[in-house]
Amino acid sequence: MRRLLPIKLLALSCLLAACVTVNVYFPAAAAEQAADRIIDTVTSQQKSNETTPPKSPPNSRAAPAGEQPVLLAAAGALLNLLIPAAQAQGSPNLDVSGPEIRAVTASMQQRFGQLKKYFDSGVIGLTTDGRVAVRDQNAVPLAERAVVTRLVTEDNRDRETLYAELAKANKHPEWEPDIRRTFARRWVERGAQGGWYYQDSGGKWVQK
C-alpha cells in the first residue's frame, strides 16, 4: 500500500495543477452565465439560472487513515505554490456590476421596448457577430425607417461597448471575440422569441 503513495501524490499534483492553471484560459461557462444575466435584464425576462449542485457520491475508496494526513499536507503545499502563480496571470472576473457595464445594459433595456416590435414583425434580426441588423427595410413604413435605422445603430453601439467592457473588466482584452461569440449564441438561444429572425452560421436569415 505504501508503494502506491507516490503514485497517488503524483496524480493529485497533476489534478490540482490542471484545476488552477485552467483559469488563465477563456472561462466559457462563466461568460455564458454573464451573458444570460445581461440578456435577461435587457429583455426583462425573469429566468432563474440557479440549479442545485449535485451531491458528490460517497467515496468508497478512501485512503487509509495513515495516508490521509500525508495526502492533505502534500495537496496544501502544492496549492500554496500554484495559486500565487495562477493569480499573477490574472483570474477571470466576469462581474457584470461595473458602472460602465451597468450603464450600457440599462441603455439597451430602455431601448428594447422600441426594438421588440421590429423583431416581432421580422424587420430586424440578430446577426452572427452579436449585433442587430435590418433584415427587411421594405416592411417598415417610410415614416419609420429613420427611426429603425437610429435604433439599430444605437443598439449596436451599446453592444460593441458591452463586449469591450466585459473583456476590459477581466483584464483580458483578447477575450472580446470569445465574449462576442458567446453573446451572439445566447441572444438567439435565450433572448430571441419564437418567430424572430437570426442569421445561421452561413449568414442566412432563419426564423426561430
pLDDT tens for each residue of 143-170:
999 999 999 999 999 999 999 999 998 8
Residue 144 DSSP code: G
56 within a domain of the structure (yes/no): no
Q: Is there a domain that residue 42 lies in? A: no
Q: Is 41 inside a domain boundary?
A: no
Residue ranges making up the domain that contains 164: 99-207
Q: Residue 33: is its pLDDT beyond 90?
A: yes
How many domains are contained in the chain? Answer: 1
* CA distance linking residue 77 with residue 105, whole number of Å: 43
| Residue entry with cell 449596436 | 156
Asked if the structure places residue 163 within a domain, the reply is yes
61-70, 88-97, 99-108: which has the highest mean pLDDT?
Answer: 99-108
Determine the angle formed by the axes of helices 99-120 and 28-43, rounding to 10 degrees: 60
Distance separating alpha carbons of residues 157 and 163, to the nearest angstrom: 10
Q: Is residue 49 in some structural domain?
A: no
